[in-house]
C-alpha cells in the first residue's frame, strides 16, 4: 500500500532500517499486530457493501504494488488469477496510473520524461499520424492488427499505460532497441498492471485501458515531511503516533518483519480485499491519522481529507470513462491503500459492487 510505504520510509530514514518489504516465513494475523488500545471492529466492513442492482458491475481489486515488493510469486499463481478475472470478462478496465491528459509536472508527476521527438523521427510517425491511429483504434472492435505501431502512437501521445499494454503483450523488439524504453518496459513488466491487468484485458479483447490517478499538490502526503522534521528535532513522540498505522510490520528488527499473509500472491490478494483489511484501513485513516497533531495543528485530519480528495479525483476519471463507454462490467486494479475509498465512492455512485474474493481462486 502506498500510504504504508510512505510512513515506512519515515521510520526507515529515522531508524536507519533497510528495505521495507523483507519476507518473514510466518504470516501474522492483523489482530495480533494491532496495538491493544485499538478500538476497531475488524468485521465491521462485512456486508456493508451491498451488491445492489445498479449498473455497471464494478470489481475493485486492491493489491500491493508488485514492482515495489521483494517477492517471488510463481507464474502459476498469476495464471490462476488471470484466468479467474478473465471469466469476469470486463468491458472496461481502469488501472492506477496518471492519465495522458494530467498536466505535465503538476504535483508528484511520476511519469517518465522521454524525448518523443527523437522517437517520432526514428519511427517515422508524426503527431497527426499517432492521433489518427489512436482514433481508429477507439472506433474499432477487438484488438488491433498492428499492436506495435499502435503502442508507438500511444507513446508519442504521452499515454504511458496503453503504450506498454500493446508492447508488453506482443512481440515488439524494435521499440526495445532504445535503452531507456527497454529499461522502462522492464520496470513496467513487474507491475500489477502488466502481471495481472494486461493479460486479462487482452483476453477480454479490450482495445484501450483507462488510466486513473491524481497527484495534485492539494492531495499530497505531507505528514511524511513534517514527521521527518519532528524526528530530526528530537520529538520522538511522533513514533507513537505513527506506529499504529504500520500493522504489517511486527517489529523494527531487520530480521523479524512480519506480513499478515504468507508468501503467496493469492494470500496477499485475498487479504488486501478482505473486510478485515478494509476495516483496518477505515480505522487508520478515519481514527488514527485524523488524531495526529503537530505543533498544535491537526495535520492528521487535513491529511485524511487530502487523501479523500485524491481518491475522489481518481474516481472522477473512472466515472468519466464509464459515462462515455457505458460498460456492463468494470475491473479496477489499484493499490490496496485506495480500496476503502474507492469502494465507498462506487457504492455511493450506485454501481453494483462486486466482492473481488468471489472471483479470486482459493489460496490453498
Q: What is the pLDDT of residue 208?
A: 96
Q: What is the pLDDT of residue 7?
A: 40
Under the banding of pLDDT at 50, 70 and 90, the label for residue 24 is very low
The grid coordinates of residue 179 equal 535503452
Q: What is the pLDDT of residue 156?
A: 97
* 3-class SS of residue 193: helix
Q: Which residues, 6 or more positions from 200, have their beta carbon under 8 angstroms from its beta carbon?
A: 82, 85, 86, 90, 93, 331
Q: Which residues, 6 or more positions from 205, have their beta carbon under 8 angstroms from its beta carbon?
A: 142, 143
Are the CB atoms for 203 and 82 separated by under 8 Å?
yes
Q: What percent of the chain has pLDDT over 70?
A: 74
Q: What is the pLDDT of residue 132?
A: 96
Question: What are residue 334's DSSP bridge partners?
Answer: 62
Question: Which residue carries 517520432 as its cell?
Answer: 120
CA proximity to 275, closest of 7, 31, 3:
31
Under the banding of pLDDT at 50, 70 and 90, the label for residue 25 is very low
Q: What is the pLDDT of residue 38?
A: 60
Asked whether the predicted pLDDT for residue 346 surpasses 60, the reply is yes
Cα separation, 193 vs 10, in Å, equals 27
**Helix residue spans in the chain (DSSP H):** 2-15, 30-33, 75-88, 116-123, 127-139, 147-156, 162-168, 179-188, 192, 198-203, 223-232, 238-242, 265-272, 275-283, 299-325, 339-348
What are the boundaries of each domain within the chain? 2-101+213-358, 113-159+162-208
pTM score: 0.82
Q: What is the pLDDT of residue 17?
A: 23
pLDDT in tens, 44-59: 555 455 555 668 999 9
Cα separation, 232 vs 227, in Å, equals 9
Mean pLDDT throughout 31-49?
A: 56
pLDDT in tens, 126-145: 999 999 999 999 998 878 88
Asked whether the predicted pLDDT for residue 16 surpasses 60, the reply is no
Tally the C-alpha atoms within 13 A of residue 32's C-alpha that lie toward its C-beta. 11
Mean pLDDT throughout 117-125?
A: 95
Q: What is the pLDDT of residue 281?
A: 81
Asked whether the predicted pLDDT for residue 198 surpasses 60, the reply is yes
Helix, strand, coil percentages, rounded to 5, for the chain? 50, 5, 40
CB neighbours (10 Å) of residue 341? 22
Sign of CA dihedral 231, 233, 236, 237: negative
* 3-class SS of residue 270: helix
Dihedral, 179, 185, 189, 194 alpha carbons, nearest 10: -170
Cα separation, 46 vs 264, in Å, equals 24
Are the CB atoms for 14 and 231 separated by under 8 Å?
yes
Cα separation, 318 vs 212, in Å, equals 6
- 84-88, 95-99, 120-124, 219-223: least confidently modelled range: 219-223
Quote the radius of gyration of the chain (alpha carbons, Å). 21
Buried b / exposed e over 179-217, threshold 16 CB at 10 Å, is eebeebbeebeebbbbbbbbbbbbebebbbbbbbbbbbe
Cα separation, 94 vs 333, in Å, equals 6
Question: What are residue 93's DSSP bridge partners?
Answer: 331
Amino acid at each position: 500500500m502506498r500510504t504504508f510505504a510512505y510512513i515506512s520510509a519515515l521510520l526507515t530514514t529515522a531508524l536507519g532500517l533497510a528495505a521495507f518489504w523483507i519476507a518473514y516465513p510466518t504470516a501474522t494475523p492483523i489482530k495480533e499486530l494491532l496495538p491493544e488500545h485499538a478500538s476497531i471492529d475488524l468485521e465491521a466492513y462485512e456486508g456493508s457493501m451491498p451488491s445492489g442492482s445498479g449498473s455497471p458491475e464494478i470489481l475493485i481489486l486492491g493489491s500491493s504494488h508488485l514492482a515495489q515488493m521483494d517477492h517471488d510469486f510463481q507464474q502459476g499463481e498469476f495464471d490462476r488469477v488471470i484466468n479467474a478475472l478473465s471469466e469476469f470478462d470486463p468491458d472496461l478496465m481502469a488501472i492506477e496510473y496518471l492519465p495522458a491528459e494530467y498536466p505535465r509536472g503538476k504535483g508528484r508527476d511520476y511519469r517518465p520524461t522521454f524525448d518523443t521527438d527523437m522517437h517520432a523521427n526514428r519511427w517515422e510517425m508524426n503527431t497527426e499520424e499517432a492521433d489518427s491511429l489512436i482514433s481508429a483504434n477507439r472506433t474499432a472492435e477487438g484488438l488491433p492488427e498492428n499492436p506495435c505501431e499502435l503502442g508507438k502512437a500511444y507513446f508519442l501521445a504521452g499515454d504511458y499505460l496503453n503504450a506498454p499494454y500493446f508492447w508488453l503483450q506482443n512481440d515488439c523488439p524494435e521499440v526495445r532497441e532504445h535503452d531507456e524504453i527497454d529499461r522502462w518496459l522492464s520496470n513496467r513488466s513487474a507491475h500489477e498492471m502488466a502481471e495481472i491487468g494486461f493479460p486479462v484485458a487482452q483476453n477480454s479483447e479490450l482495445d484501450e485501458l483507462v488510466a486513473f490517478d491524481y497527484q495534485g499538490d492539494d492531495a499530497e502526503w505531507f505528514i511524511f515531511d513534517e514527521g521527518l522534521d519532528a524526528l530530526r528535532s528530537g520529538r520522538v513522540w511522533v513514533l507513537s503516533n505513527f506506529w499504529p498505522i504500520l500493522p504489517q510490520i511486527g517489529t523494527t528488527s531487520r530480521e523479524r518483519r512480519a506480513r499478515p499473509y504468507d508468501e503467496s500472491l493469492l494470500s496477499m490478494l485475498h487479504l488486501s480485499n478482505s473486510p478485515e483489511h478494509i476495516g483496518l484501513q477505515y480505522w487508520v485513516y478515519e481514527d488514527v491519522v485524523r488524531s495526529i497533531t503537530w505543533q498544535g495543528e491537526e495535520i492528521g485530519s487535513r491529511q485524511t481529507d487530502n487523501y479523500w480528495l485524491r481518491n475522489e479525483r481518481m474516481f472522477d476519471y473512472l466515472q468519466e470513462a464509464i459515462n462515455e463507454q457505458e460498460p456492463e462490467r468494470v475491473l479496477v486494479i489499484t493499490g490496496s491503500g485506495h480500496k476503502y475509498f474507492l469502494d465507498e465512492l462506487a457504492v455511493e455512485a450506485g454501481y453494483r459492487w462486486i466482492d473481488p474474493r468471489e472471483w479470486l481462486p482459493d489460496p490453498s
